[in-house]
Structure 1
Amino acid sequence: MSLSQNEFLPRAEAVHARLEGAVLDALSHHGEPSVPELAGAFRDTRMEPAQLAEALCPGPLSPIGFAALVMRELLTPEDAVLEGTVSEARVITGNARVAGSLRVTAPLVVLGDLEVAGVLEDCGPDSTVVVVGRCAAWGLQTSGNFLVLGDLVVRDAIQGIYNDDSLVVAGDLTTRFLDENDHDVTCYGEVHAEHQLENGRSGEDAASLASTFLRPELWNLDLGEIHHDVLFERIQKGEPVFTDTLQPRQVREPDEPTAEELEGLDIEGIAAQASKNARASDVVYAQRKTGEVWLLRPGSLPLHIFDGKEFLGQGTPPALDVKQRASERVTFWRRRGDLFLEIERFGAVVQLHAGYNNGSMRTFRFAFETPDGASREMRRLEARYEGDFLRVTSVVPGRGPLERELANYGGPKAEYTSAIVDGTTLVTRDDERQDFDDEASALSALEDWIAGKRQAGFDLKILEWKPFGLLGSR
Structure 2
Amino acid sequence: MVLSQNEFLPRAESTLARLEGAVLDALSHHGKPSVSSLAGVFRQEARLSPSQLAQALCPGPLSPIGFAALVMRELLAPVDVVLEGSVSEARVVTGNARAPSSLRVTCPLIVLGDLEVEGVLEDCGPDSTVVVLGRCTAWGLQTSGNFLVLGDLVVRDVIQGVYNDESLVVAGDLTTRFLDENDHDVTCYGEVHAEHHLENGRSGDAAVTLASTFLRPELWNVDLGELHHDALFERIQEGEPVFTDAPQAPQVREPDAPTAEELEGLDIEGIAAQASTNARAKDVVYAQRKTGEVWLMRPGSLPLHIFDGKQLLGQGTPPALDVKQRASERVTFWRKRGDLFLEIERFGAVVQLHAGQNNGSLRTFRFAFATPDDAAQEVRRLEARYTGDFLRVTSMIPGRGPLERELANYGGPKTEYTSAIVDGTTLVTRDGERQRFDDEASALSALEDWLAGKRQAGFDLKILEWKPYGLLG
Q: Is 1:183 paired with 2:184?
A: yes
Please tell me whether the aligned partners of residues 149 and 172 of structure 2 are also in contact (alpha carbons under 8 angstroms): yes
Q: How does 1:319-398 map to 2 (within 5 A)?
A: 319-398=320-399
Map of 1:309 onto structure 2? 310
Please tell me whether the aligned partners of residues 402 and 467 of structure 1 are also in contact (alpha carbons under 8 angstroms): no
Please tell me whether the aligned partners of residues 125 and 143 of structure 1 are also in contact (alpha carbons under 8 angstroms): yes
Please tell me whether the aligned partners of residues 403 and 467 of structure 1 are also in contact (alpha carbons under 8 angstroms): no
Map of 2:41 onto structure 1? 41
Map of 2:446 onto structure 1? 445
Q: Structure 1: how far apart are the matches of 2:338 and 2:3? A: 62
Q: What does the per-residue CA deviation read over 1:187-216, in whole Å, with 9 as the maximum and x for residues that have no partner?
A: 000000000000000111111111000000
Map of 1:238 onto structure 2? 239
Q: Structure 2: how far apart are the matches of 1:429 and 1:78? A: 57
SS at the partner of 2:83? Answer: strand
Deviation at 1:310, TM superposition (A): 0.2
Map of 1:461 onto structure 2? 462
Map of 2:81 onto structure 1? 80
Deviation at 1:248, TM superposition (A): 0.7
Q: Structure 2: how far apart are the matches of 1:467 and 1:247? A: 28
Map of 1:54 onto structure 2? 55
Deviation at 1:466, TM superposition (A): 2.1
Q: Structure 2: how far apart are the matches of 1:326 and 1:355? A: 20
Q: Structure 2: how far apart are the matches of 1:111 and 1:458? A: 66
Q: Structure 2: how far apart are the matches of 1:292 and 1:349? A: 22
Please tell me whether the aligned partners of residues 401 and 469 of structure 2 are also in contact (alpha carbons under 8 angstroms): no
Q: Is 1:194 paired with 2:201?
A: no
- Unpaired runs of 5+ residues, structure 2, are none
Q: Structure 1: how far apart are the matches of 2:411 and 2:236? A: 54
Q: Is 1:156 paired with 2:157?
A: yes
SS at the partner of 1:236? Answer: helix
- Unpaired runs of 5+ residues, structure 1, are none
Q: How does 1:133-282 map to 2 (within 5 A)?
A: 133-282=134-283
Please tell me whether the aligned partners of residues 423 and 470 of structure 2 are also in contact (alpha carbons under 8 angstroms): no
Please tell me whether the aligned partners of residues 407 and 417 of structure 1 are also in contact (alpha carbons under 8 angstroms): yes
Q: Structure 1: how far apart are the matches of 2:468 and 2:174? A: 40
Q: Is 1:32 paired with 2:69?
A: no
Q: How does 1:283-294 map to 2 (within 5 A)?
A: 283-294=284-295
Q: Structure 1: how far apart are the matches of 2:195 and 2:471? A: 41
Q: How does 1:396-415 map to 2 (within 5 A)?
A: 396-415=397-416
Moved beyond 6 Å, runs of 4+ = none
Aligned residues: 472
Deviation at 1:247, TM superposition (A): 0.5
Q: What does the per-residue CA deviation read over 1:234-264, in whole Å, with 9 as the maximum and x for residues that have no partner?
A: 0000000000111111111100000000000
Q: Is 1:7 paired with 2:33?
A: no
Q: Structure 2: how far apart are the matches of 1:430 and 1:204? A: 37
Please tell me whether the aligned partners of residues 402 and 470 of structure 2 are also in contact (alpha carbons under 8 angstroms): no
Deviation at 1:467, TM superposition (A): 5.7
Percent sequence identity is 86
Deviation at 1:470, TM superposition (A): 5.1
Deviation at 1:452, TM superposition (A): 0.9
Q: Structure 1: how far apart are the matches of 2:282 and 2:312? A: 18
Deviation at 1:465, TM superposition (A): 1.3
SS at the partner of 1:343? Answer: strand
Deviation at 1:469, TM superposition (A): 6.5
Q: What does the per-residue CA deviation read over 1:280-331, in whole Å, with 9 as the maximum and x for residues that have no partner?
A: 0000000000000000011111100000000001111011011111000000
Q: What does the per-residue CA deviation read over 1:137-168, in whole Å, with 9 as the maximum and x for residues that have no partner?
A: 00000000000000000000000000000000
Q: What does the per-residue CA deviation read over 1:105-164, in whole Å, with 9 as the maximum and x for residues that have no partner?
A: 000000000000000000000000000000000000000000000000000000000000
Q: Structure 1: how far apart are the matches of 2:442 and 2:208? A: 36
One-letter identity of the residue aligned with 2:426: T
Q: What does the per-residue CA deviation read over 1:429-472, in whole Å, with 9 as the maximum and x for residues that have no partner?
A: 1111111111111111111111111111111101011266651x
Map of 2:104 onto structure 1? 103
Please tell me whether the aligned partners of residues 214 and 242 of structure 1 are also in contact (alpha carbons under 8 angstroms): yes
RMSD: 0.8
SS at the partner of 1:365? Answer: strand
Q: What does the per-residue CA deviation read over 1:322-360, in whole Å, with 9 as the maximum and x for residues that have no partner?
A: 111100000000000010000000000000000000000
SS at the partner of 1:54? Answer: helix
Q: Structure 2: how far apart are the matches of 1:439 and 1:100? A: 40
Map of 1:20 onto structure 2? 20
